[in-house]
Structure 1
Amino acid sequence: MDRCHRGGRTVSEFDPTATPAPDDIVNRGVRLGTVASVISGFYAAAPTLGMLDNIFNPDLLAVWPLRDEVSQEGVALLLSGHDHQGPLRSEWLNLYGYQPSVLPTESARGNSSAAAANAALYQRDQFSAPQVADAPADHIGPELAYAGHVATSIAMQYRAGVDVSAEAKGLLTFVREHVGPLGNVVVAQTKENAETLTYQAIALLTQGYLAELESFAEYNG
């Protein structure tokens, strides 16, 4: 991968099929934001036809932003078949809906203060994402999307020469106290309960995302 220096900072030339170096903050942060914008919506609501067109598009899957083994296992699963919207709506309701087999919020798992704390963070950081807008602030969907939003912000600030250590420490705290613990349980229970290849794959893509997110936050924080 070719690398260049901009403003005294190392930036790799973008290669979607390669894993960026640990110090390539811009590339890593943007990739996290991209992944978060895709996977978060599958938890917040039953998938739309547009979401399914994207997640099963082989050209897009070939350049999935995270290249780790677990993420690529999820990609391979999506390339192996295609679920239809009707069964996926039923699957989403069974997994995360009215009587869920997977509890997708922190409050459902005993953290009654998480929703208010997260809402304050979202407002402070001017976070909004249409694909998760109807979900509670302590739901796995908004938490995944918010973490991606912060990772992208860190990448853009770093590229502009801004010190990102404070924001990265805040992200690391959010990962360790909120989206990490919740996400790991949601992933495990989704793997256990999902019957469609789509949600089995989403669990793997989320697992890969969470691992890279924590690594990114630790490196910068």
Structure 2
Amino acid sequence: MSGFIALVRRDLLLAWRRPADALGVLLFFALAAALFPLGVGPEPAMLQTIAPGVLWVTAVFSSMLSLNRLFAADHADGTLEQLLLSAEPLPLVVTAKALAHWLVSGLPLVLLAPLLGLLFGLPVEAIGVLVASLLLGTPVLGLTGAIGGALTLGLRGGGVLVSLLVLPLQVPVLVFGAGAVGAEPGGGVAAHLLLLGGLLAFSLVLAPWAAAMALRVALD
């Protein structure tokens, strides 16, 4: 466990030295979502109708911006090979890097979401559901993205390939997340959140192993 915590701390320190990466993700999320009210007009009913889909789609695309850098820096300086030879199981290494990536890129989206929800005129209950759905869904986006980042490691144009590979895996998260926010109070919200929780549990079990296998293939 100490090795796991050390890996998370290391990645957080590296991210702190490169704040532009995290700020780019956050600014894209904010600006992309804020443009929709300007484009469709200030009609409150329309904004509340499109808000769940808009906020979740922008969250999905924002999370993709940094996926190609999840393993690239460690691969470039040889750290990844050293981690492969270390005593820590590679799936645990992948989980640590995915956690650090979520803390840097996913958690800020969750914290910003209430402000964007107010911009779309969402009621307080819907904003609470939005935050809950993002808390459950954004880690899944990072875990599935780790698989794509591992599969495209070292390839030219990896950023585009990662998006093409992981987008089909992230569609269920988008559907259930937007569905939870758009559902009537008490009318399916809990079911959508439970499905997101199931996806998170499924991803926590399988995604680190799949990404570890892809990394071994890429480094052989």
Q: TM-score, normalised by structure 1?
A: 0.27
Q: Which has the larger radius of gyration?
A: 2
Q: TM-score, normalised by structure 2?
A: 0.27
